[in-house]
Structure 1
Amino acid sequence: MPQKRSKRPSRLTPSPSPSASSASFDLASPDRPFDNILNFRDVGRSVNEFAGNKILKEGVLFRSARLDDASERDKHRLIDDINLLTVIDLRSHTEHVLATRRRQISLSLTPSEEPSFPETADRPHLLDLPGVKRHFISLTGRAFERLLLWRLDWYNFIKVIGLLTSGYRKEAIRVIATNVMKPRGLIGLGQDTLDSAGSEIRDVFNVLTSDDAYPVLIHCTQGKDRTGLIIMLLLLLVQETAPDVPLTAIAADYSKSETELRPELESLMKEITDIGLDEEYAKTPPGFTEALKEHLDTKYGGAKAYLLSIGCEEANIEKIRRRLLLL
């Protein structure tokens, strides 16, 4: 059975009385619905349920899509029920800029609503979570961007540089998406991320080294691919000493995102097509986990060897593994 953590005093003002809709909440379930947070789950519970065995600790590692539109009840759930202490946000600077614009438009349309602004006033889209430490680590950082740029032909390379220089970042992204990301597919981009984003992945794992980080929530925009990559690395790391964690369970946790994101499929498809990608990017391609595991095994010698190769310390890697594994 998962260990019960002591209930801390609430860091929020009392939440509004639950509406009739709250009766649909399964209060015994760590994955009971949120009002406005998609693709949320307890990773340990997800794997344990699929494996039919208690292998991983529950209530320590969570994943989701963006938190930007969370309701007050959602905030109370994260703070008081889950006892969340850390959020790792994997989104890029461009995504934060676009999210801020969306929030500003939304606020102008609903002036009667009183928003909760976080400490980072330049990012008003962020959910204010008292007592929660945030880490902003763009998984697709400069090295990843350079890799994509070098995959362009000369004509499109010069075109992208011109667009970026002129401040047309979204248009530049569309050229890259159409000519590089779409042909590579999600599996190819996952491999590219592993190969080029070692510094960013090391930063994520450095955060996870601290016992004070848990419970921790990892998310990107949809909580599907970048979040899925980090979660997959963590689970493959555990699997290397705990073969009871089946690869099928790791793959199933990734695949859940496609179903979980269906309520937002229409808007997701618009975001994807706007930058020149197709419907594959709204799905979880079969074989994603298996292909990335093979890439790790073939090129690096496995998940732990990969983490060592990007500069993670062995003692810290073992500490993370023990933090997740139900010994």
Structure 2
Amino acid sequence: MARSSSVDLDSPDRPFDNIINFRDVGRTINQVSGASILKEGILYRSARPDDASERDKRRLADEFHIATVLDLRSTTEHKMATRKRRAENENTGTEIDLTNTPSGNADEHLVQIPAQRCLISLAGKAMERTLLWRLDWTNYIKAIAMTATGYRNDAIRLVAEQVMQPRGLTGLAQDTLDASKSELRCIFELLAVQETYPILVHCTQGKDRTGLVILMMMLLAGDQVSRAAIIDDYTRSELELVPEFEERMREISALGLSEDYTRCPPGFVDDLIDYLDTHYRGVSGYLACIGIDLNMQEKIREKIMST
């Protein structure tokens, strides 16, 4: 069912029926900055577009001309989304157990538009190992045993409660930078290709993993994009996600996480910029470290900058 809205439907910022937290990053940054710094109509971000209406799909294809959908979700999240879709299709009216994830094809929930789809999880094997290593020995052995005996969801919940919750969203983003270098290399290799654009980047909420990738792209623009503008673009996700707060709370609770994971930590952007500066000599140093050379960085910069 399409959501009602008081926003003028003739406005360029009019909402989608069933896609939230959607925005043109260039347009947002330019409005906050009061200057034409980034190209508009090139780089978009959103929460998952799984429930897009037919009108939403036409808009993505015909109005925004999306050429690439970059999906940063984990395998577990895809399975949860598939189960949700199957339960809705069956129309059973029963409570959905999001922890009982299905096997087999987990692609039926994905939005179908004429664009290339790139699934690059920022919670891959290397990230899983990093989180496991943060467990104490008792819980580490318990998590390994759960996974080996077919109780992977219980192991995920254990890691979420014992590691992810204490680390918080900022700590997890730092872990992602350290552990998911091969995945981030794939992402930025994609972003350096002309045919990739216009691109829609999303995860589940379109807030933190998406926020990390967008933040790094904005840092590539240099001093022209202010830290204040990057913070504004990141923090506006919290209000944008309010319409699905209860649903998202059910999902993160099923993973063993608290309400904190629905919010935008106030120090997220500052802390990540400082972390990149301290550990990698800035975003350019980080990207060079993972195999994105200065030539490729310049290609990305040329694609997103207005001049």
**2: CA distance between counterparts of 1:82 and 1:99?**
25
Stretches of 4+ aligned residues off by more than 2 angstroms: 21-28
Q: Structure 2 regions of 5+ residues with no counterpart?
A: 93-103
Q: Which of 246, 254, 262 is the matching residue for 1:274?
A: 254
Post-superposition offset of 1:122: 4.5
Q: Residue 307 in 1 paired to residue 291 in 2?
A: no
Match of 2:264 in 1: 284
Q: Structure 1 regions of 5+ residues with no counterpart?
A: 1-18, 111-119
Post-superposition offset of 1:133: 0.2
Alignment of 1:164-179 (within 5 A): 164-179=147-162
Percent of counterpart pairs with the same letter? 52
Q: Residue 51 in 1 paired to residue 33 in 2?
A: yes
**1: CA distance between counterparts of 2:295 and 2:10?**
38
**1: CA distance between counterparts of 2:9 and 2:87?**
34
Q: Residue 33 in 1 paired to residue 11 in 2?
A: no
**AA partner of residue 80 (structure 1):** D
Post-superposition offset of 1:73: 0.5
Post-superposition offset of 1:34: 0.4
Q: Residue 193 in 1 paired to residue 176 in 2?
A: yes
Superposed CA offset, 1:88-122 (max 9, x none): 00011111111111111111118xxxxxxxxx965
Post-superposition offset of 1:25: 4.5
**2: CA distance between counterparts of 1:271 and 1:42?**
27
Match of 2:59 in 1: 77
Alignment of 1:1-327 (within 5 A): 24-29=7-12, 31-109=13-91, 122-130=106-114, 132-239=115-222, 243-327=223-307
Residue aligned with 1:192, SS: helix
CA contact (8 A) 2:185 2:292 kept: yes
Residue aligned with 1:91, SS: coil
**2: CA distance between counterparts of 1:322 and 1:281?**
34
**2: CA distance between counterparts of 1:291 and 1:187?**
7
**AA partner of residue 71 (structure 1):** S
**For residues 23 and 192 of structure 1, do their structure 2 counterparts lie closer, same or farther at Cα, with a shift above 3 Å needed?**
closer
Post-superposition offset of 1:280: 1.1
Superposed CA offset, 1:285-321 (max 9, x none): 0010000000000111111110000111221111001
Q: What number of residue pairs does the alignment pair up?
A: 296
CA contact (8 A) 2:78 2:106 kept: no
Superposed CA offset, 1:230-266 (max 9, x none): 0000001112xxx231101001101011000000111
Residue aligned with 1:62, SS: strand
Structural RMSD (CA): 1.9
**2: CA distance between counterparts of 1:235 and 1:122?**
32
**For residues 314 and 129 of structure 1, do their structure 2 counterparts lie closer, same or farther at Cα, with a shift above 3 Å needed?**
same
